Structure 1
Amino acid sequence: MSKYTKKIQEYKQEMLNNIAYLVEVPSIRDLYTKGVGSPFGENIKRAFDRFLEIANKLGFACENDEGYAAHAEIGKGEEYVGVLAHLDVVDVQNIEEWETEPFSMIIKNNKIFGRGVNDDKGPLISALYAAKILNDMNVEWKRKVRIIVGGAEETTWECMEHYFKTHSQPTLGFSPDGNFPIVNGEKGILGMKVSFKGEYMEEEICNIESRNKVNYVCDDLKVVFKRKNVDNILSYSKNATEISLGDNEVTLIYKGKVSLSRNPQRGKNAMFLFVGDFYDFDFKEKGIVNMMNFIKDCLLDDFYGEKMGLYREDKEMGKSSICPMTIKWKNGKGEMSLDYRYPKNIEPSKIKNRIYELAKEYKFDVEIEREKKLLYVPSDSELIMALKEAYKKVMNEEADTITKGGASYARVLKNGVAFGATFDGEEPNPHMPNENMSIDSLMKATEIYCEALYRLACK
């Protein structure tokens, strides 16, 4: 037992109650309800109000940054340690796959279930109580601890941009929105939309449409052919999950397996099943031919960018990845969205130049829709060494540094990393149905955060 264990157990039920209080709010971006003080919609504002209510009751000094972000501060000192988390969540897709009500926290098999329990409301409450526990213990502060929450982490990140326009950077900090031990590397991200134009020669396909949105592997694809040469179409449809014949159409459904686009190798891309069936079909429409050739030549069954000439591997940060996420063809126009993530041994300008070369070759237009610079903090830095010591003290094992494809608020810090709260081997399903978090892991994360904040903020 550590010096924090008793306090954590005293607060355990209160922590769970407060996580449930936050999870009850479906804090999904909704600009239809935005207003003064609620730039991301009314429900995200409600989540801010509840967080500030919780923090005020715990004795933190609080500030709301016009509904973009907020903070809760405790301790003493001119400098501060920043802990950056977020209150917005992704929407609930595939509701039929949820075993519990997404916006009602349920305890089952010593786990909590609900949208946000892992990403990021549970870890946020864990870090908040870690700072509270240190204050209860009358530690001697050398730096304040400031828990900073944003409302647009899952979308535009304008929350942090707004906050740091008027607030100073922390001396050092972390985001409890990743994995243990320490995520000192986050790959660069380039999200692209590629567009193909048809020539209306003879369009066999009426419609192609994928179900899922961006940030996921395409797991459900619907392809509608005009009903002619039916036997020929059916002879190609070897991997189709469902086939239906209408009076004027032939509809094919391709089912894959969903995963996050940053880990495309964990899923099964329905787009690949379709293109694998039809890449040598005699399409007359040149726009579809260009799109099919691009997928076949540059993407099919490749998770790492080798076919595009964008494969990179770095000793510290691992491999690049590429994922086609969505596809659409309608009225002579096609669109695809791609997610490329890369380590530190390739320049963004070289990536873009290669994409533009492919655009010219395969006759598509490209638009960069999302771009985030990579994060890398050397393993021997003061911050990393302190977090390593904290992790080892609690877990009695060495803390390795790792690289992830995801993006945490650590990227907005001049000296910060992602630190927990998911342990190795756990499957908390962030962004997916049945998001969950082990209660024991949540309490252990709180203990680690107590020790880390003690080393970073106390004398």
Structure 2
Amino acid sequence: MDYKNVIKQYESEMIEGLQELVRIKSVEDIATATKEMPYGVGPYKCLEYTLNLCESLGMKTVNLDGHVGWAEVGSGEEMIAVLTHLDVVPEGDVKTWSVPPYDAIIKDGKMIGRGTSDNKSPAIASIYALKSMMDMNVKFNKRIRLIFGTNEETGFGCMKHYVKRAELPTVGFTPDASFPIIHGEKGILQLEFKSRLDLGDLNVKSFEGGVATNSVPDKCEIVIQGKFNSFVDKVKEIIDTHNFDAIIEVSDVCKIITFGESSHGSTPEEGVNAISKMFKLFAECEISSNLVNDYNSKIAECTNGELMGSDLSDEFGSLTMNVGTLELVDQEIVFGIDVRYPISKSLEQVIEKIKEGLSRSVISVDEKFHKEPIYYEKTDQLVTKLLNAYREVTNDYESEPFTIGGGSYARAMPNLIAFGACFIEDGFCAHQPNEFIYIKRLVEQAEIYCNALENLLEG
């Protein structure tokens, strides 16, 4: 069927709906969490708005304990699922944004705001794709369920709850990656590197950097008290003579801020790590510290684990490592580490390599979170049906399925695959300042998902 004209009629509603979602700051907030709102007020409000929208469009809806919700049409034993998430990562330093991150401002054909790309526009596109199919009187001989999660960015708690309490789909996809289609995702391993606070003679009052383990930090800040005059002189000299992207403020304390460039934690090579820059600054200042020495010799600005001997790779890609966060806890420095490892490697191999690489350092390693890699053959029926849906709309017969380091809801349940919604030629802006989506893409996404659902209904 030709869905484009029907979808086009909803374009203004899609834009308004996306703006409403973006204006809800749906970052996990444990401080406001309750039994009814397990991830805080923002994610819950986003879920509530989305389910109300779906209900107004004639879909049956369920809110499952505030963790997750869904909208459904059709009948039959089999169920096709589309999984999107409504939570977002923090906006980071608002000074790095050209517009307020939650105002959903439209400029030069783009809507700019946190969550526009990851993952609120695909949620809106899937809703109006299903509504357009309803308008076209498609025969739903299987159920189609749009599942909306609220804890994708910080642990998949929403989908763990769904799997325990609700029906698993027969097949489905998650529009939380890129077109044309993702047939494999690297393993995800989140660690904590820990070390006793040791910065030589410096008396540290506070030390922090980054906002999320799976984002490259664009800012790191340390506050020093006590005697620091000679240290200040060295820092000022380095900033002035080395064109170092940092600032220093001196009063009764000394505050130093290093700046980087944010990117998604699965592609740390595309960013500039502000935490690593801080430790580079310490080294330039010749601070006598085992921690500083070990950090710069084992981690530094290396994003593939090579310095610690953990640079694993296979035909689908290489290991990546991101130092996403730093915090000072009871005189101990805790680094939040995000590792994406090759599909053919095991968790045990990866951890062994990392621990071996740090065994003679002052840095200890604790495992916090893990997700196994997933992989589908390019000839798999699910891959070919969705790829054909993309090609029917875009006429792009050259792009092929590929693998990524990112992690999606495709790992949450069997028989799911990541399919869109980003177009590679638009660039990858998730987790970055000035995250955006081109307005024209909303209709295109929805049209692709109409074709995809139609193909799955026929299977």
Relative to the length of structure 2, the TM-score reads 0.90
Contact 2:262 2:431 (8 Å CA) reproduced: no
| 1:362 alignment partner, SS class | coil
Ranges in structure 2 where 5+ consecutive residues have no aligned partner: none
Residues 72-112 of structure 1: per-residue CA shift (max 9 Å, x gap): 11123210111001112222222233333333333222222
Q: Determine whether 1:256 maps to 2:260.
A: yes
Alpha-carbon separation, structure 1, partners of 2:22 and 2:37? 18
TM-aligned CA deviation for residue 146 of structure 1: 0.5
- Give the letter aligned to residue 3 of structure 1: D
Match of 1:265 in 2: 269
Secondary structure of 2:147's aligned partner: strand
Residues 253 and 108 of structure 1, relative CA distance in 2, 3 Å threshold:
closer
Q: Would you say the 8 A contact 1:312–1:345 is kept in 2?
A: no
SS of corresponding position for 1:139? coil
Q: Call closer, same or farther: CA 1:292–1:61 in 2, change over 3 Å.
A: same
| Alignment of 1:69 onto 2:68 | yes
Separation in 2, partners of 1:18, 1:204: 51
- Quote the Cα distance in structure 2 between the aligned partners of 1:66 and 1:159: 10
Query: How many residues are aligned here?
Result: 452
Structure 1 position 239, deviation (Å): 5.7
Give distance in 2, aligned partners of 1:85 and 1:29. 16
Partner of 2:40: 41
Aligned equivalents of 1:240 and 1:83: distance in 2?
A: 46
Partner in structure 2 of residue 451 of structure 1: 451
For the Cα contact (< 8 Å) 1:38–1:45, is it kept in 2? yes
What corresponds to 1:373 in structure 2?
372
What per-residue deviation string (whole Å, max 9, x for no partner) do you get for residues 389-421 of structure 1? 111111112241122222211111211111111
Structure 2 partner of 1:80:
79
**Equivalent position amino acid for 2:391 in 1:** K
> Mapping of 1:422-437 within 5 angstroms?
422-427=422-427, 429-437=429-437
| 8 Å contact from structure 1 (residues 428, 437) kept in 2 | no
Q: How many percent of aligned residue pairs carry the same amino acid?
A: 31
Cα contact 2:309–2:354 (8 A) shared by 1? no
Most deviating of 221-230 and 117-126 = 221-230
The answer (yes or no) to whether the contact 1:175–1:417 under 8 Å persists in 2 is yes
Q: In 2, are the aligned partners of 1:207 and 1:328 still within 8 Å (CA)?
A: no
Q: CA RMSD in A?
A: 2.6
**Partner amino acid, structure 1, of 2:139:** E
Structure 1 25/371 Cα, relative in aligned 2: closer, same or farther at 3 Å?
same
Paired with 1:28 and 1:330, the residues of 2 have a C-alpha distance of 23
SS across alignment from 1:196 = strand
Q: Distance in 2 between the 1:250 and 1:37 partners?
A: 44
Change (3 A) 1:207 1:336: farther
CA change 1:278–1:108 in 2 (3 A) is: closer
Say yes or no: does 1:301 pair with 2:305: no
**Cα shift at 1:362:** 0.6
Change (3 A) 1:177 1:331: closer
Distance 1:243 1:97 in 2: 15
Deviations 1:217-252 (A, max 9, x none): 233334556426456666666464456485776654
Where does residue 211 of structure 1 map in the other structure? 209
Determine the C-alpha separation between the residues in 2 that align with 1:245 and 1:17: 43
Task: Return the letter of the residue paired with 1:427.
Answer: G
Greater Cα offset, 191-200 or 50-59: 191-200
Asked if the contact 1:240–1:253 (Cα under 8 Å) also holds between the matched residues in 2, the reply is no
- Between 1:163-172 and 1:271-280, the stretch displaced more is 271-280
How far does residue 326 in structure 1 lie from its aligned partner after superposition?
Answer: 2.9
Partner residue, 2:181: 182
1:389 partner SS: helix
Shifted more, 377-386 versus 301-310: the winner is: 301-310
Of 302-311 and 79-88, more deviation after overlay is shown by 302-311
CA contact (8 A) 1:239 1:274 kept: no
Whether the 8 Å CA contact 1:304–1:321 is kept in 2: the answer is: yes
Distance in 2 separating the partners of 1:325 and 1:103: 23
Name 2:27's counterpart in structure 1. Answer: 28
Q: CA–CA distance in 2 between the matches of 1:223 and 1:68?
A: 36
**Structure 1 150/253 Cα, relative in aligned 2: closer, same or farther at 3 Å?**
closer
Matches within 5 A, 1:243-392: 244=248, 246=250, 252-279=256-283, 283-284=287-288, 288-289=289-290, 291-315=291-315, 317-328=316-327, 332-392=331-391
Q: What CA distance in whole angstroms lies between the structure 2 residues aligned with 1:261 and 1:371?
A: 15
